[in-house]
A = this chain, B = another copy of it.
Amino acid sequence: MSSFVVALDVGGTSMKGGLVTRSGEIVRTDRRATPRDRGPAAVIATIRSFIDDLAAAGGGPPEGVGLAVPGLVTAEAALYSANIGWRDVPATDLVPLDVPVMLGHDVRTGGLAESVLGAGRELSDFLFLPIGTGIAGATILQGEPYGGSAGWGGEIGHIPVFPEGEPCACGQIGCLETYASASAVARRYSTRAAASSPAAPGSPVAASVTASAAASVTAERVAALTVSGDPLATEIWGEAVEALSLALASYTLLLDPSAIVLGGGLAEAGTVLSAPLAERLQKRLAFRQAPPLRQAALGMSAGMLGAALLGWRAAGFADAGTTWSLDVLKSPRVA
């Protein structure tokens, strides 16, 4: 086959891998569990064998390897991740092959992919905001992700939107994430549904969802219940939207992005999120227009595709992706 890079998106739960050619063809995708509970050495060993297996499947050594990893990261090393538990892991420890390697921060690497290949293709300065189990953003400036003076930027999920609000797992008060992540929406709905049923039979919630069903609710379900007019879902969803509008108002006033690209599970709810969010964001911005909201284009593949761009950059092709066909968006997504 033609020359390729190995691309790996290392998440806390699973790793998404792929082989991507110079012209952007995704010739293979695969996924493995991240053995986080067995410690950082096991995660590193899994990364190494996954890369080896992908390279073998490609039929020869890759031109380069790109990896998206969580935490604090430089192009040459994974410096720290509370999630995975590693410290100061050089790229050469992660990659068992003697080929050029480039690392990137997971969310910012997804943002790079949206910038070069996805919803930000013709944008210069924007926010990429994936909303999933947690919330972190990638600030894209002149087409490239910006991580701050030391790489700790983008923590929009922990800005204090309600300063007297609910405690967040991070130890702070009223963080965006504790109201608006997919898991927060599910958790807050379940907690309140359980509290109001069956002890409070007059509650409108008790009529639609029992406490036991509520315990296993998903954010997707809360979105659907909101559309169908369920009062508790409408309230919880509304609070998530309000929290997002406050955080995005702050971001907009500080950084004047040309657009906000929403990704992750919650964004896939579509207009039940984007319509009220656009309205409330504009309400919070009295003297300027709100930037347009866009849906991310690359879905769960953003991190892997960004890692492919890093792999090609490591191999010496700084312009990787710019000539790739938009058909890349129609390529098979990571399963």
Residue ranges of A at the interface with B (Cβ–Cβ < 8 Å): 124-126, 137, 139, 141, 146-156, 158-163, 170-173, 242, 246, 249-251, 253-258, 284-288
Q: Are A160 and B125 in contact (CB under 8 A)?
A: no
Q: In chain B, what residue has the closest Cβ to A152?
A: B256
Q: Lowest 10 A-B CB distances belong to which pairs?
A: A148-B256, A171-B286, A153-B256, A125-B149, A149-B258, A155-B253, A159-B250, A152-B256, A172-B286, A159-B253
| Residue picked from A150, A151, A170, A242, most chain B C-beta under 10 Å | A150
Cβ distance A140 to chain B, nearest Cβ, rounded Å: 10
CB pairs A–B below 8 angstroms (5 shown): A148-B255, A149-B258, A155-B288, A158-B287, A159-B253
| Residue picked from A125, A148, A246, A251, most chain B C-beta under 10 Å | A148
Q: Are A253 and B284 in contact (CB under 8 A)?
A: no
Number of copies of chain A assembled together: 2
Cβ distance A100 to chain B, nearest Cβ, rounded Å: 25
Q: Are A124 and B141 in contact (CB under 8 A)?
A: no
Q: Are A170 and B286 in contact (CB under 8 A)?
A: yes
Q: Are B285 and A253 in contact (CB under 8 A)?
A: no
- Given A159-B250, A160-B250, is A124 in contact with B139 using a C-beta cutoff of 8 Å? no
Q: Are B156 and A254 in contact (CB under 8 A)?
A: yes
Q: Which residues of B contact A124 (CB under 8 A)?
A: 149
Q: Which residues of B contact A151 (CB under 8 A)?
A: 256
- Once bound together, how far apart are the Cα atoms of A161 and B164, in whole Å? 11
Q: Are A257 and B125 in contact (CB under 8 A)?
A: no
Q: Which residues of B contact A154 (CB under 8 A)?
A: 254
Q: In chain B, what residue has the closest Cβ to A162?
A: B163
Cβ distance A179 to chain B, nearest Cβ, rounded Å: 12
- Given A146-B141, A286-B172, is A159 in contact with B256 using a C-beta cutoff of 8 Å? no
- Once bound together, how far apart are the Cα atoms of A258 and B256, in whole Å? 21
